[in-house]
Amino acid sequence: MILHYGRATLIACILLLHLPAAHSGQARPIPLANGAQGCLTLANLLGSIAVEDCAVVDFGIAGTGTVQHRPILIGDFPATRTPPVDKRPARVLLLGGVHGDEYSAVSIQFRWAERLARDSRRRYEWRMIPCLNPDGLLAGPATRTNANGVDLNRNFPTLEWATRALPYWTEQTGRDPRRYPGPSAASEPEVQWLVDEIERFDPDVIVSVHAPLGILDFDGPPPPPQQLGMLNLDRLGAYPGSLGNYAGRTLAIPVLTPELQYAGIMPTNQQIAGMWDDLIEWLDEHIGEQDRVLPPRPVLPDWNLLLAPPENLLLRP
């Protein structure tokens, strides 16, 4: 199992001191840690992340924290292969831990980070966010929702969110608290930050890992991969407020959603390798390098107009 139960219980007990009580007013903020401290917190909780894994990625942190002021980690792997002069490397956003109780979706990011770190000829620019919802992961026990009880994957500002999200939650889920979309679109700081981060990073592809359906979901253009390793394509449709709906349909960014088979058990190394190889093959075939947007060439002035007429020249003595 991924969880080290003894350490997880101890960490959960410590963190409970900082969690908001139901009727105690405003909770005391948890100061934002640096990237290294945030990574070690994950390593101390999840048995499939070693302390040494935190040295593979030089994590930074988002400028905005979670509801409970925990850091959202960001790791970058720049392209190392030189593209043609009129092209740029495609940008790929790797995302895990949208739901705090899907441990494997967090841990697999570190196995992929090992592969990226070993690749001396990276074709693409990769940005990794291993856990968008650390409050849910560290809740003790872990929760699908964030600290406000909102399902982050139902809170993205999709088209017609205001008229569809709450009715869908009421009519289709029976007001399941695990799938509460929130009081308004992008009401949660984690979602607000990711929406802004997508605009800043401007990814050409998003890979958002979940569990435990054991399939591959896909939203947006271009043609989807038929499989990633052991996960076969099975398109689930668009839910109000989901990332796939928002990025894939509203922003027209391809969103691959590998749903791992188990939330608490990691895929085998062979399965992880198969998923990664299929992802790279699909990127190479359908994404590749992107056209570079070059700034317009400056319009040079008529140099004859810049030359002063002889009668205006000052002669030096």
The better pLDDT of the pair 28, 133 is held by: 133
How far is it, in rounded angstroms, from Cα 175 to Cα 167?
9
Residues 6 or more apart whose CB falls under 8 angstroms from that of 221 comprise 252, 254
7 pLDDT band, cuts 50/70/90, is: very low
Looking at the predicted structure, is the pLDDT value of residue 276 above 90? yes
Of 21-30, 72-81, 142-151, 179-188, the poorest mean pLDDT is in 21-30
Looking at the predicted structure, is the pLDDT value of residue 2 above 50? no
78 burial type by CB count under 10 A (0-12 exposed, 13-18 middle, 19+ buried): exposed
Confidence at residue 296, expressed as pLDDT on a 0 to 100 scale: 66
How far is it, in rounded angstroms, from Cα 244 to Cα 281?
21
Q: What's the average model confidence in pLDDT over 89-111?
A: 97
Q: What's the average model confidence in pLDDT over 100-129?
A: 96
Looking at the predicted structure, is the pLDDT value of residue 85 above 90? no
Angle between helix 35-45 and helix 5-16 axes, rounded to 10 deg: 130
Confidence at residue 226, expressed as pLDDT on a 0 to 100 scale: 96
The domain 5-291: what is its CATH number?
3.40.630.10
314 pLDDT band, cuts 50/70/90, is: very low
Looking at the predicted structure, is the pLDDT value of residue 256 above 50? yes
Of 25-34, 40-49, 212-221, 232-241, the poorest mean pLDDT is in 25-34
144 pLDDT band, cuts 50/70/90, is: very high
294 pLDDT band, cuts 50/70/90, is: low
Of these ranges, 50-59, 206-215, 282-291, 295-304, the one predicted with the greatest mean pLDDT is 206-215
Looking at the predicted structure, is the pLDDT value of residue 22 above 60? no
How far is it, in rounded angstroms, from Cα 158 to Cα 168?
13
Of 92-96, 231-235, 280-284, 295-299, the poorest mean pLDDT is in 295-299
Confidence at residue 298, expressed as pLDDT on a 0 to 100 scale: 64
Q: What's the average model confidence in pLDDT over 291-306?
A: 62
Confidence at residue 129, expressed as pLDDT on a 0 to 100 scale: 98
DSSP state string for the chain:
--B-HHHHHHHHHHHHTTSPPTTS-SPPPPPPP-HHHHHHHHHHHBTTS-GGGGGTS--EE-SS--TT-PPPEEEEE---SPPPTTEE--EEEEE--SSTT-HHHHHHHHHHHHHHHH-TT--SEEEEES-S-HHHHTSSS--SS-TTS--GGG-S--TTHHHHHHHHHHHHHSS-GGG---SSTT-SHHHHHHHHHHHHH--SEEEE-B-SS-EEEEESSSPPPSEETTEEB----PPTT-HIIIIIIIS---EEEEE-S-SSSPPPHHHHHHHHHHHHHHHHHHT-SEE--PPPPP----HHHHSPPGGGPPPP-
Percent of the chain whose pLDDT exceeds 90? 74
Looking at the predicted structure, is the pLDDT value of residue 211 above 50? yes
The better pLDDT of the pair 285, 32 is held by: 285
Looking at the predicted structure, is the pLDDT value of residue 299 above 80? no
Confidence at residue 303, expressed as pLDDT on a 0 to 100 scale: 52
Confidence at residue 12, expressed as pLDDT on a 0 to 100 scale: 38
Q: What's the average model confidence in pLDDT over 224-241?
A: 94
